[in-house]
Amino acid sequence: MRVLSIVGARPQFIKMAALARAFERHNGLGREPIESIIVHTGQHYDAEMSDIFFDELEIPPAAFNLGVGSGPHGRQTAHMLEKLEPVLLQTRPEMVLIYGDTNSSLAGALAAVKLHTPVAHVEAGVRSFNRRMPEEINRVVADHVSDLLLAPTRTAMENLEREGLSRRAVLTGDVMYDAVAAHRQVAARRSSILGILGLAPGTYALATVHRAENTDDAERLEGIVTAFNDIAGDGLPLVLPLHPRTAQAVRATLPRWSPRPSLHVIPPVGYLDMLCLVGHARLVLTDSGGLQKEAFFLGCPCVTLREETEWTETVEAAGNIVAGAAPAAIRAAVRTWEHRLAGGVPDFAAAASTSFGDGRAADRIVQALLAAAQGAAHVGPAADETAAINTTEGARC
Ligand code: UD1
Ligand code: UDP
């Protein structure tokens, strides 16, 4: 079976890494092999936003890099569509695999479906119910044109059911949980980021910001970076690996803003350093979908810098406070966490595995792809493949 994965942005490389391992495991069992072809749209292109993930996570190199780069939504998506079509015609995959909710996911789904190539969507059914988010449009369109909807959580399955899509949906668990389970101990061995930054475990907060709703709105951006300086000034050093979009927005709209010495603004880091930073942080402040989940998986309290979250399980399990972008609200959420932490470090491990799976989502996806190719209705991991998988327990990082 020939499966073509279309990726282009940082979180997609991490999701793809889990699938790459699952394809290897499947092929190692001597069954009908899966030929995996990777297409990189070029949406993210800086070494620290792309190459580092292929290297660290040992993802096989992309067979095609479309070099699309940055641009407004219409132009970026259109360039991807234009360049994907000949690749699909040349490679003739039996299934196209798209991941998450970026413009690369949308273009991949549209390009394939117009050529009558079946599409499977990893992380299907995720909804914020905020149609002003570009990602929400990408998800809804991708889900409705996809043939196989690979849902990470029960909430995602319920969303698909509400949209009349449940017959195409399979609950697989979350591949980002797989990725954390597979790499947390590697991160603990290899990352030296805490030493480089001169920080001790449990003594700092970790922050990321990159969503359009925060970077493209000067008031929200100012509120967030003001809160970061306040928190760092109150005695909790803060590490901020800055997305290039946010770096540009700060330069353009807040040229006079300057971080305090205890606010460590650093370039984007690789996945292993990131797992180590999350695993040892006192708390995380973020508008990233992936990072909200990783904080939850690794038992780190989270403050979400948005008005809503797709990952409602993290809030229901009291692991995440949705604070928005106003400095007073962000500071209040941090105080709430300090108060709760005084009673002990929370343990979300059980809630994380109940909601997001058991670290075998990618293997279930492989089975779902094979079943879909054979036209079978039921999918689930084969017993021997299940036995071959090891989930990793251990330290937070
Ligand atoms: C994209 C996704 C978002 C995802 C995020 C992950 C869309 C609509 N958005 O947002 O869902 O959460 O990736 O990080 O697909 N840039 C660089 N170097 C790079 C990449 C980007 O400098 O390697 C800068 C460019 O100025 C670019 C800006 O970042 O214009 C935004 O990049 P883009 O890929 O359009 O969107 P993201 O904000 O990264
Ligand atoms: N990430 C990383 N380095 C960074 C920032 C994020 O490795 O400097 C990882 C993070 O751990 C998570 C993923 O990138 O696995 C999330 O990507 P991002 O926040 O860019 O996108 P989102 O998940 O919001 O779509």
The reply to whether ligand 1 has any atom less than 6 angstroms from the CB of 257 is: no
Q: What is the mean pLDDT of residues 98-115?
A: 98
CB of 268 sitting under 6 A from ligand 1: no
Evaluate whether residue 376 is within a structural domain. no
Q: Are residues 97 and 208 in the same domain?
A: no
Say if CB 69 and CB 58 are below 8 A apart.
no
* Percent of the chain predicted with pLDDT > 90: 91
DSSP 386-397: HHT------S--
Cα–Cα distance for residue pair 184/191, rounded to 1 Å = 10
Q: What is the domain count for the chain? A: 2
pLDDT tens-digit readout, 235-287: 999 999 999 999 999 999 999 999 999 999 999 999 999 999 999 999 999 99
Same domain, 64 and 208: no
Q: In terms of domains, do 39 and 91 share one?
A: yes
* Residue 110 in domain: yes
Same domain? 45 vs 193 = no
Q: For position 123, which CATH number holds?
A: 3.40.50.2000
Question: Domain check: are 110 and 22 in the same one?
Answer: yes
Residue 267 belongs to what domain range?
A: 181-351
Residue nearest to atom 8 of ligand 2 (CA): 268
* 8 CA to centre of ligand 1 in angstroms: 10
Question: Which among 332, 351, 370 is the end of a domain?
Answer: 351
Query: Which residue among 16, 43, 214 is best mutated to probe the pocket of ligand 1, counting the most ligand atoms within 8 A of its Cβ?
Result: 43
Work out which ligand 2 atom sits closest to the CA atom of 135: 25
Dihedral sign computed on CA atoms, order 309, 312, 314, 315: positive
Mean pLDDT throughout 151-162? 98
306 shares its domain with 246 = yes
Residues 320 and 228 in one domain: yes
Model confidence at 40, pLDDT cuts 50, 70, 90, reads very high
Instruction: Identify which ligand lies nearest to the alpha carbon of 300.
Output: 2
Pick the residue whose CA is nearest to atom 13 on ligand 2.
Answer: 11
Is 260 in the same domain as 163? no
Which atom of ligand 1 is nearest the CA belonging to 45?
Answer: 23
* Domain-embedded: residue 301: yes
Last residue of a domain, one of 120, 152, 171: 171
240 shares a domain with 208:
yes
15 and 50 part of one domain: yes
Q: Nearest ligand to the C-alpha of residue 206?
A: 2
Instruction: Evaluate whether residue 358 is within a structural domain.
Output: no
Instruction: Give every CB contact of residue 164 below 8 A, 6+ residues apart in sequence.
Output: none
The answer on 295 and 154 residing in a single domain is no
Q: In testing the pocket of ligand 2, which one of 138, 288, 300 has its CB within 8 Å of the most ligand atoms?
A: 288
Rama region for 193: left / alpha / beta (φ>0; ψ in -120 to 50; rest): alpha
pLDDT above 80: residue 389: no
Which residue in 121, 183, 210, 243 is the catalytic one? 210
Q: Is residue 243 within 8 Å of residue 210, measured between CB atoms?
A: yes
132 and 193 part of one domain? no
Residue 396 located in a structural domain? no
What pTM, to 2 d.p., does this model score?
A: 0.95
